[in-house]
Structure 1
Amino acid sequence: MRSQRLSSVSYATLSRRPSVRHRASWGVLKSQDEAPIAEAPGGGTSTFGQSLFNCIAILLGVGVLSESVAFTYAAWIGGFVLLGTYGILTYYTAKILVRIMALDVRINSYADIARVAFGPRSIWLTISMFCLELFTLSVILVLLFSDTLHELVLSISSDMWKIIGLAFVLPTCFLPLNLLAFTSILGILSIVLLVSTVLINGFSITSTPGSLLRPAPTSLLPDWPRLPIAFGLLMDLCNPERFDSMITWAYVIATVLYGVIASAGYLMFGNAVSDEVSKDLVNTPGYPRWLNIVMAVGLVINPLSKYALCTRPLSTTIESLLGIGNMSVGADPHTSAADSSDPKSSGHKRLLTKQTLYIVLTRVVLSLVVVLTAILIPSFSIVMSFLGAFSAFLLCVIGPVCAKCAVEGRWKWYDVIILVVASSMAISGTIMGFWTSCLNEA
């Protein structure tokens, strides 16, 4: 997840930490400048290919499903301009984060970067933003699961599938992380399967809609009133705080895959493309039924496997704020300090049972709130727009650029332009996303 520490792969790409002279030029805390510079860890255990695979897996998310509908708002010119601009922009901010991390071996996370740049008070704001983004992503995973199954089994409503999905994902919230981590490979496999399905289906029929051989009507110029929505949909491509030196190749590959999905879906279904291109693939007659079913199963397994990984940092943060993770003798007036420290005592067992019950209650309530939010805001594209416009712009562009300027102690003209443009896109994209949602509900 975004709040996790960077892997050893990130450090393996840095042969040496910057010199004192280089660090001073970036204006790092003077108290740290006097200390000798620690060397980076000797090397990681991942090969170039493994590192590249990990980066691509991070970049390719569920947002790929909404790329085609983003092109209906931005059209061909706006779509490719925005996609390319976001790729270059977040590549730049990723390098900013890597450069700040290179200043000190103790900087291992986004929160550490915020602490160095803005002081310790910024940590809680950073954590809050990550929690909001994780919550939004959890809602998106539930929407993807329910929408996909609803297209396969129309007799069961999407809201009912959300409730059914809760029964499947809730047990995974209590599994240890070492059992959940290996499931992340399902995400990239499902995206590759989606790309393959789109291309195979597109070339398998010659009638419109749904054919790459006979494209549906599209637009060259953007739908200007709804263009801000595309800002967020396309921006969700980026998660730069976890990139390593493989970012260049990873970005090229990921951007190409996003571009293929966006352009293929737009060509096949035109301005009538759904907010999830997988819906159109399932509902269009003439496609190989078995291929669509396999793709749908992959899209269903993907959110189920990622849900617990997504909500775990969020639930852990909530438990920490409530003091559940650090329950001690003070939490139980009937338990003495001696009993609390003795694993075999009844007091210790009673305290452990109470702690477990609170953890279960917290995670159950969190999942219920996620599902309820998914029911109240059922539009996949609108939620994706919010995630991209508000959260991704703030964490992936505005935050890194502000951190760079704070560490350097000066504002460069191009950084100011980036901040102004990014802030405008974030605000307009968020407002238009909610405005469109209200109009659809009305």
Structure 2
Amino acid sequence: MRSIRAAAVGAVTLSLALAATACGGGSSNGGGSDDSPKTLTYWASNQGASVEIDKQVLQPELDKFEKQSGIKVKLEVVPWSDLLNRILTATTSGQGPDVLNIGNTWSASLQATGALLPWDTKNFDAIGGRDRFLDSALASTGVQGKDPAAVPLYAMAYGLYYNKKIFADAGIGKPPATWDELVADGQKIKAKGKSPLGAEGANVSENVHHVFVFAKQHGADFFTADGKPDFTSDKVVAAVQQYVDLMAEDKVIPTGNAEYAQNQSVSDFAKGKQAMLLWQSAAANLKSQGMSEDAYGVAPVPVQSGTPGTGTRINSMAAGINVAVFGNSHNLDGARQFVKFLTGDDEQKVLNKAYSTIPPVKSAQSDAAFDTPAFAVPKETLATSSAPLPQVASESQFETVVGTAVKDLFADAAAGRAVTTDSVKAKLEKAQQQMPAA
């Protein structure tokens, strides 16, 4: 999912499990839509720099759909701080929209509620077929072996954004390819009076995204093959400690960043206050804050050694936004038509250009706009060195508890308290105890 927004995972509890029997067809969809087949309600996620910008992007496209289909779409852009809780409330009450955007990491958790329309072969065929979509995007649509709970809409991957002038002033000729190189470059940048690397230590979802990648690079997973939490293995502990040590030990992340929340590190980077930023598809966000594309470069996120690839050389989660349909919508045919419109080649080009994201529809990537430097790294990363976050029913709780554990560890580092293997393991053990029983 996109880092321009922080995921609203803080209030996810056992309500997901309880919701599994609370949803289904037949109840009013209650999201502002009447029962007319000529009306749909749509909850869009906040993809741009503001809700108002999203409305400016989306409304002309919804008008286009109405002209083509005769179906009016009532739009609400929901901030990421509210979106998941709004969805959970809708799943338990049955009062939701017809169509909605979800962060792709939530797919399995929301699938477990039973509220979303399963995308079986018949439904995929109605929008042009499953094989139109990238495999990496489809991998984050629900539990493997089950019909997907959603359809890929925007695809993203993390990159290392670096300020060209700061690098040149520090005598650094190329971006770092390994974490050791990043730390070494960070010391040169600090010697020139700049902050090396930004982070958002209070941003729970960002914390999870990064420690997931570090875990992959250590050859570890947060869940066992049968879906049980495994947060305290030696490799997971080492991975989390390595990320937090970028502040605690290596001193390349400023201690003030322990309190940073949504978009604060992006703002610092755009203003030239820091040299590097780990972010997903940041071009549109940086442009909106006045940073020219010529001022920065984009490189793959560092790995432990060598170059990004498969196995332990994974350097990004397979990020993105999916579009889903509530199964109790009174206008399922119209909802499928709308999803077909959003995932059609022409619309994929319009929307993904607007948000500097990658079309998860393969044929839409042929547009020359997606061959620029800003798109090259995320496209390559998605294709060769990304992995989906765990597609398990308790994924949303995992984001909450592990992301909070990392937040607490950053707070320790900022306060000068030692971050040790034992303290990291203790935080992760506490997080694991907060996970719901299978």
TM-score > 0.5 by shorter chain: no
Report the structure, 1 or 2, having the larger helix content. Answer: 1
Radius of gyration: which is bigger? 1
Report the structure, 1 or 2, having the larger strand content. Answer: 2
TM-score (norm. length: structure 2): 0.32
